[in-house]
Amino acid sequence: MESEKAFKEFEQIIDRLGRLSDDLVEVIDKQISAVVSSNGEDVEQYVEEYTHLRGVFKEQEHKFIDHLQMMLNNAGVKSIEIRLENLKEAYPETADTISDWQEELEKQMEMLKAKHQKLNNLLEFAVEKNMQLMHSIYSLHNKKNTRYSAGGSKEEISSGIALNKEA
């Protein structure tokens, strides 16, 4: 009876993790769109939204681990690692359900990992292109990036310094 209640609560925690995972994927997709469209305000908004969701997700992860540990302890399973797999040993009659949970959680984590990787690759690309653009801008030479030395000869100064001096 008590184990039934514990399983029900555990299933609810797993469902919440699944919904939060879906929400995180959705926000990452919005971040990707905002980065592609170079919309700084949207990027900032979605980063804040992602940060909030990630905090809630972390809380659910801790609840998941705590509840799993409690269930394993109640079943008398003493293990160094707290794994969902160990729950099958304690409750063999629910092995199929536990396997379904494992598959769903693994699928969601793979999806999150792939979306994170896509966003990271996009951001790395944007940083690289921005760096190339800044290099091009700073390497331009014109009459404003020269000066005379104390000896009276004309010397070049870097564009970054010239731009900063004009500001």
- With vertex at residue 42, the alpha carbon angle to CA 36 and CA 44, rounded to the nearest 5 degrees, is 105
pLDDT in tens, 21-47: 999 999 999 999 999 998 889 999 999
Parse the chain into domains and list their residue ranges: 2-142
**Burial category of 14 from C-beta neighbours within 10 Å (exposed 0-12, middle 13-18, buried 19 and up):** buried
Residue 57 is predicted with a pLDDT of: 96
Cα separation, 110 vs 55, whole angstroms: 19
The mean of the pLDDT values for the chain is 84
